[in-house]
């Protein structure tokens, strides 16, 4: 389906990644006519590369308490979210309640892990300190040399490729439209409010509400006054996908180490990531990054050396100056943002959709929405219109 039987959409969503598709699905379920414009294929960029950790506790930082609060709330809804999505789409979104082990390989890393433990306990997060012997009972493939482990029982994972495929299906089943290969060239304003979008190629689509969910490209949208743009930047992550020819079972938990993580899919496939690099829109894969990721993983799990490499790729996370996402209405009436999720887009998708749809429906803004207001980036004293 390419239109709503000739009717203009109530809402245009720019970007068909995990955020845009979740917003579109929830908006369609709320009775809005939604069209998603995705310049490539749905879930084909950042979401395609993402590992899919649902890890607010492992990723917690005292400098990012807003992100922690949002992450905990979104994680608490995930089980229900994927169950509803499976029902709506008829597809398995690949959710795995696997828990996480954070591991130290030497004395320095063990000291750092003790500090991490204290910080998380201070924030009243559920984390257990494990001796190496206990960690190896849980994961026998761990190297005998590990020094310390923390168990984070509530940090799980989902397969973002399955998730986005299920979401695209759910959007269409709910009456929404997902247009692949359709790039938005600019947002159209009339009388200082959103009037629609123009696609590359010239097609004009009228809509009074536009949601920008274009991930790391969200800061490049034409048609907006400069002061209404958001300072979103790409943060590169290189990542590997491997599988065990011997089948599942080598590792059951997400494993985290200094500088990386291993995420099991539960079927003998593993994701090994990821670098954090400020290199603009570069998505090349480098020998050094692949070497370091594999070296660290094999040191932690010697049996990893038997795995076969399926894919080496690089994705771009959408970063913001303060590390928190930009969700909700912006400076231009009718324009909503759902971007800047950095390392947490897959985790924050359900909550983001809830907040955006509530704003689209004109409900009164929550405190949560205030903490991620896109307008916090507006230069002081400049009228965005």
Query: What does the binding site for ligand GLY look like in residue numbers (CB under 6 A)?
Result: 51, 53, 237, 273-274, 317, 343
Residue 16 or 273: the one with the smaller Cβ distance to ligand GLY is: 273
Residue 161 or 317: the one with the smaller Cβ distance to ligand GLY is: 317
Residue 169 or 218: the one with the smaller Cβ distance to ligand GLY is: 218
Residue 20 or 71: the one with the smaller Cβ distance to ligand GLY is: 71
CB 297 to ligand GLY: min, Å: 14
Residue 20 or 315: the one with the smaller Cβ distance to ligand GLY is: 315
- Backbone torsion region of residue 51, taken as left when φ is above 0, otherwise alpha when ψ lies between -120 and 50, otherwise beta: alpha
Residue nearest to ligand GLY (CB): 343
The closest alpha carbon to 120, from 178, 181, 59, belongs to 59
Three-class HEC string of 58-127: CCCCCCCHHHHHHHHHHHHHHHHHHHHHHHHHCCCCCEECCCEEEEECCHHHHHHHHHHHHHHHHCCCCC
CB 346 to ligand GLY: min, Å: 7
CB 50 to ligand GLY: min, Å: 7
CB 262 to ligand GLY: min, Å: 12
Residue 100 or 169: the one with the smaller Cβ distance to ligand GLY is: 100
CB 274 to ligand GLY: min, Å: 4
Q: How many residues are present in the chain? A: 385
Helices (H), the chain: 18-29, 46-49, 65-89, 107-122, 132-138, 160-173, 287-300, 345-360, 367-371
Residue 336 or 342: the one with the smaller Cβ distance to ligand GLY is: 342
Residue 93 or 176: the one with the smaller Cβ distance to ligand GLY is: 93
CB 38 to ligand GLY: min, Å: 21
DSSP 9: P
Helix (H) and strand (E) counts in the chain: 9, 20
Going across the sheet that includes 204-206, the strands are: 184-190, 193-199, 204-206
Measure Cα distances from 66 to 56, 63, 255, 322, 371 in Å.
11, 9, 25, 10, 7
CB 361, CB 30: distance < 8 Å: yes
CB 59, CB 323: distance < 8 Å: no
CB 307 to ligand GLY: min, Å: 19
| Consecutive H or E run containing 314 | strand 308-319
CB 180 to ligand GLY: min, Å: 25
């Amino acid at each position: 389906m390419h239109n709503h039987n000739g009717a203009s959409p109530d809402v245009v969503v720019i970007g068909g990644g995990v955020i845009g598709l979740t917003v579109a699905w929830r908006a369609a379920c709320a009775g809005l006519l939604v069209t998603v414009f995705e310049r490539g294929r749905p879930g084909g960029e950042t979401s395609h590369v993402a590992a899919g950790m649902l890890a607010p506790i492992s990723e917690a930082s005292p400098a990012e308490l807003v992100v922690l609060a949002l992450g905990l709330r979104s994680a608490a809804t995930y089980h229900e979210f994927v169950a509803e999505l499976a029902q709506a789409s008829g597809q398995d979104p690949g959710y795995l309640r696997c828990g996480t082990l954070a591991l130290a390989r030497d004395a320095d890393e063990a000291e750092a892990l003790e500090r991490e433990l204290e910080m998380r306990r201070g924030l009243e997060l559920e984390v257990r300190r494990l001796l190496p012997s206990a960690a190896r009972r849980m994961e026998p493939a761990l190297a005998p040399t590990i020094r310390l482990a923390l168990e984070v029982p509530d940090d799980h994972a989902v397969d973002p490729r399955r998730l986005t495929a299920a979401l695209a299906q759910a959007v269409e089943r709910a009456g929404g439209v997902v247009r692949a290969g359709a790039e938005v060239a600019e947002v159209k304003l009339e009388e200082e409010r959103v009037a629609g979008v123009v696609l590359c190629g010239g097609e004009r689509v009228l809509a009074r509400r536009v949601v920008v969910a274009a991930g790391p490209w969200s800061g490049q949208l034409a048609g907006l006054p400069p002061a209404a743009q958001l300072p979103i930047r790409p943060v590169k992550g290189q990542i590997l996908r491997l599988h065990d020819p011997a089948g599942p079972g080598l590792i059951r938990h997400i494993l985290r180490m200094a500088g990386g993580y291993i995420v099991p899919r539960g079927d003998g496939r593993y994701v090994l990531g990821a670098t954090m690099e400020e290199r603009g829109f570069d998505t090349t894969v480098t020998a050094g990054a692949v070497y370091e990721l594999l070296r660290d993983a094999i040191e932690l799990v010697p049996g990893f050396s038997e795995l076969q490499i399926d894919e080496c790729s690089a994705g771009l996370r959408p970063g913001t100056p303060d590390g928190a996402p930009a969700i909700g209405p912006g400076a231009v009436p009718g324009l909503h943002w759902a971007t800047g999720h950095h390392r947490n887009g897959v985790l924050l998708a359900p909550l983001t959709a809830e907040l955006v749809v509530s704003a689209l429906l004109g409900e009164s803004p929550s405190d949560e929405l205030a903490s991620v207001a896109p307008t916090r980036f507006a230069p002081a004293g400049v009228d965005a219109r």
